[in-house]
Amino acid sequence: MLFWIFVFLLTRQSGLTQGHPDLLSRAATEASCDCTINSCRTLFDIVWGCLATIFACTWVALHQNVPDPDLGHFALLMRKLRMMLVTIIAPELIVGFAARQFLSAREISKEFDVSTTHGFFCTMGGFVSEESHPVSTKKQLPAYISAIQKIKKADIDNKSKGDTLSKGVAIAQGLWFVTQCLARAFQHLPLTELEVATLAFAVLSVVIRLLWLHKPLDVQQSIVVARSEVDIDPLQEEDITPMNNGLHTLLDKLGGPIVGDYSDYPPFSSTSVPSFYSIEIDAKNTHEFINLAGVLGVGTIFGSIHCAAWNALFPSMAEMWIWRISSVFIAAYPALTVLLAVAIGAWAYDNDIAQAVLASFVLVGLVVYPICRLFLIILSFTTLRSLPPSAFVDVNWSNYIPHL
C-alpha cells in the first residue's frame, strides 16, 4: 500500500508540473534570479547522481557465485559485465535470484546447524570437495557437513570484499536517493525521466542488498572440505548427475535464471556452479511458484515506478507515448503472466492448447519486454535535451529541518 501511495505522489507531482504554468514560471524565476549552490542543480549534477546510483545498483550490488578457478581476469570481467547487463535489462531476475539464495541459505542454516553465511557460501559454490567439485546439493551436504561446521564464519567473511557496515552504507545510499525523490514530490518539483528510471533501480537494489546482507561479496576462491565417514552411495551420485541428452527447449534453458531449475546441473563433473544457481530446497514446486510470482511481482513494481512519469513533460508526443506504452507493458505483463499461469494450472493443466497459449504468451513477452526496457533506457537520456526550468530547482531541505 505504501508503495502505491509513493507512485501516486510522484505521478501527481508530475501532473501538477505539466498542468500549472504558474508553477513552472515561478520555478524558472527562482532558478534564474537566485541560482546558488543551495537552490539549483545543473544537468551534470542530475546525470552524475543518477549514473552513480545506477552503477551502485548494478555493478557494486552484485554478489556473484564463486567463479570457475580457471577463469582469467578478462573472463571474470566479462562475467560480471554480463550479469550487470542482465541487471539493467531485467533487474527482477536478480531479485528472484537473491530471494532463492536467501531461502536456501536459511534452510541450510536451520537444518545443518550452521550460520546463514555458511548457507550462502554453500549455495554459491564456495565449498568444494577434495576433487574440486562444488558441494552444492542437499544430497552432498550430509557427507561434508562435519567439515563445513568446523570452518569459522570469520574465515568465510575474510574472503568477502565487503562487510556488513559497507553493505549498510550502500543500502543507505539507495534509501537516500529514494528520499530525495520523495522530497521533490512533496515540494511539487518534477523528476526527470532518468531520475524515475534510477528510482526504480534504487528501490530494487535495496531489496537485493537486504536479501544478500549475509552473502560474501566477490569471492574468487573456494574452500576445500573433506568428506566425512558418512559417504554418498554411488547410485545417489548417478541420481544427482543427470543424463545429458541435449533435448532442451527454450523454456527449459530459461528455467535456471527465472525459477532456479537446474535439474541438468552435474555437480560431480563441474568445477563451479551456474551464475544463477541456488540449492534446491524442500517443497520445491511450491517455492518455484512463489519465486516465479515474486519475480513477476517485482517486475510489476519496477514498471509501475516508471509509470510515475506518466504526466511528465516530454520533448515530443512520440517520446511520451513510447514511454507510457513501455511502462504499462513492463508493469502489466508480469501480473498477466502470473494470472494466466494460475488460471491454466487451476482449470486447464492438462490442456495442450492452454499450455501452448501460455508458452506463446511467455515467448512474446521475452521478445517485447527487452525492447520496452531498451526504449525506457534510451528515453531516459534523450529527454534530458529539453527539461523544464523547475527540474533544475533543488530540494529545499530547510523545510524538514527544525530551525529558529
Output b/e per residue, 80-115; b: 16+ Cβ within 10 A. beebbebbbebbbbbbbbbbbbbbbbebbbeebebb
What phi and psi values does residue 44 have, to the nearest 5 degrees?
Answer: -60, -40
Cell numbers linked to 289 = 511458484
Percent of the chain with pLDDT over 90: 15
pLDDT at 24 (0 to 100): 39
pLDDT tens column, 285-342 = 555 566 666 667 788 888 889 998 988 889 999 999 999 999 999 988 887 877 777 7
Query: Sign of the CA dihedral 332, 336, 339, 342?
Result: negative
Cell numbers linked to 128 = 568444494
pLDDT at 195 (0 to 100): 93
Quick check: 156 and 117 in contact, CB under 8 A?
A: yes
pLDDT at 404 (0 to 100): 44
Distance (Å, whole) CA 142 – CA 148: 10
Q: Please name the amino acid found at residue 12.
A: R
Q: Please name the amino acid found at residue 395.
A: V
Distance (Å, whole) CA 161 – CA 327: 36
Mapping DSSP to helix (H, G, I), strand (E, B) and coil, where does residue 341 land? helix
Quick check: 260 and 291 in contact, CB under 8 A?
A: yes
For 35-39, 203-207, 212-216, 243-247, which range has the lowest pLDDT when averaged over its residues? 243-247
Mean pLDDT of the chain: 77
Quick check: 101 and 211 in contact, CB under 8 A?
A: yes
pLDDT tens column, 229-273 = 655 544 354 444 444 433 344 445 555 566 566 666 777 778 888
Q: Which one has a higher pLDDT value, 188 or 235? A: 188
What phi and psi values does residue 224 have, to the nearest 5 degrees?
Answer: -85, 130
Sort 362 into a burial class: Cβ within 10 Å, 0-12 / 13-18 / 19+.
middle
Most distant CA pair in the chain: distance in Å? Answer: 80
On the CB side of 301, CA atoms within 13 Å amount to 23
pLDDT at 6 (0 to 100): 47
Query: Sign of the CA dihedral 354, 360, 365, 368?
Result: negative
Distance (Å, whole) CA 29 – CA 325: 34
Please tell me whether the overall predicted TM-score, pTM, comes out greater than 0.95 for this model.
Answer: no
Dump the DSSP string for 73-107: HHHHHHHHHHHHHHHHH-HHHHHHHHHHHHHHHHH
Distance (Å, whole) CA 223 – CA 135: 10
pLDDT at 337 (0 to 100): 78
Residues whose CB is less than 8 angstroms from the CB of residue 374 and which lie 6 or more positions away in sequence, other chains included: 89
For 32-41, 105-114, 171-180, 197-206, which range has the lowest pLDDT when averaged over its residues? 32-41
pLDDT at 231 (0 to 100): 53
Distance (Å, whole) CA 82 – CA 86: 6
For 124-133, 167-176, 203-212, 363-372, which range has the lowest pLDDT when averaged over its residues? 167-176
pLDDT at 383 (0 to 100): 93
